[in-house]
Structure 1
Amino acid sequence: MRLSQNFTVIEFIKSQTALRQGLDNTPEDKHLESAKLLFEKVVQPVRDVFGPTTINSGYRGKALNKAVGGSATSQHCKGEAADIEVPGVANAVVAEWIEANCDFDQLILEFYTPGIPDSGWVHVSYKASGNRKKVNTAMKENGRTVYKNGLIA
């Protein structure tokens, strides 16, 4: 099943952790409907502009989310979020393009190191209604993850 022209459900639900631990990561129909919107509004447009796009983390069922230490309120569990990268394109550039060109709920440039283009990844989420266009950068400070407003690249 396709979520958009260039992306399948299999890509969105694939997880090495789920495979290793024998976890079922099958989404419900409501999660797939949310994922279709995410891909239509954000992920496919990124692919159309920048080329092949990798999904590092997509849908996470409750068991998988717990296994990877995800937030209990993670939008990944609702099919509303994906962590993406575009090989050969700096993650900061991808995040800046999304901010300027797409509707979204949250956009987080995660663990990007200026000067190292392929460091980190881009987390993006989309909701059927009520998108906040919240933009943050996640980074480590004193061994803890902190979120700062805006894109810091």
Structure 2
Amino acid sequence: MQITEHFSFKELTRSETARRLGLQNVPSAAEMANIQYTAEQLEKIRAYVGRGIVVTSCFRSERVNKAVGGSPTSAHRFGLAADCDAIGLTSLAFAKEIIKMRDEGKIKFDQLILEFPERGDGAWVHIGFRRNSPMRNQIMTATKKNGKTVYLPGLHV
């Protein structure tokens, strides 16, 4: 089932952790509406960057989110975030394109996080949204320091 032209229900609810542990990852009607909203935002980003987008994580049920060690308030938990990359762009270049898009007034986001750029091709961009409260416009970089995830303001490589 396609949610939007380029993003499917399967892609936006896929979880290797859920599959491996036999957990359900089925959204409620409200979460489905959020997934639809997120997919619409991803379509805007896809059109702006002119490239396909690969989503590695979007919606996580409560049990799946707990299994992956996600925050109980994670936007993923409610279908309002996507971990993704643009085909043919580095994660840093992709993050910069989304920020440029925001600066041009073409998208609003709550959080944009460049995740683990020290991994090179293993890095990704987290983009999160809100629906019923103002977007915070946070830009951060997640990195590992002494085995713990640390969030730095801005983009860092």
TM more than 0.5: yes
Structure 1 position 39, deviation (Å)? 2.0
Identify the residue that residue 84 of structure 2 maps to in structure 1: 84
SS at 1:4's partner residue? coil
Which position in structure 2 is the counterpart of 1:149?
153
Q: Quote the offset at 1:151 in angstroms.
A: 1.2
Corresponding residue for 1:127? 130
Structure 2: gaps (5+ residues) = 102-106
With 73-82 and 1-10 compared, the bigger mean Cα shift is at 1-10
Aligned-residue Cα RMSD (Å) equals 1.5
Q: How much does 1:60 deviate?
A: 0.3
**Contact map agreement 1:38 1:127 (CA 8 A) in 2:** no
Structure 1 Cα separation of the partners of residues 113 and 136 of structure 2? 13
- Per-residue deviation, residues 56-79 of structure 1 (Å, max 9, x unmatched): 111000110111111111110111
In structure 2, distance between residues paired with 1:38 and 1:131? 14
Q: After superposition, where does 1:50-129 map in structure 2 within 5 Å? A: 50-101=50-101, 102-113=107-118, 116=120, 118-129=121-132
Alpha-carbon distance in 2 for matches of 1:64, 1:131: 25
Count the aligned residue pairs.
150
Alpha-carbon offset, residue 85 of structure 1: 1.2
Deviations 1:105-146 (A, max 9, x none): 1100000138x3x23110001112411111100011122211
Letter in 2 for 1:152: H
Report whether the alignment pairs 1:29 with 2:33.
Answer: no
2:148 aligned partner, one-letter code: R
Give the Cα–Cα distance (whole angstroms) in 2 for the partners of residues 149 and 120 of structure 1: 17
Deviations 1:12-49 (A, max 9, x none): 001111111111100011111112222222x1122222
TM-score by length of 1: 0.91
Q: Matched residue of 2:23: which SS? A: coil
Conservation of the 8 A alpha-carbon contact between 1:52 and 1:87: yes
Q: Which has the higher contact order (CA 8 A, sep 6+)?
A: 1
Match of 2:20 in 1: 20
Letter aligned with residue 139 of structure 1: T
TM-score, length-scaled by structure 2: 0.89
Aligned to 1:11: 11
Distance 1:119 1:13 in 2: 21
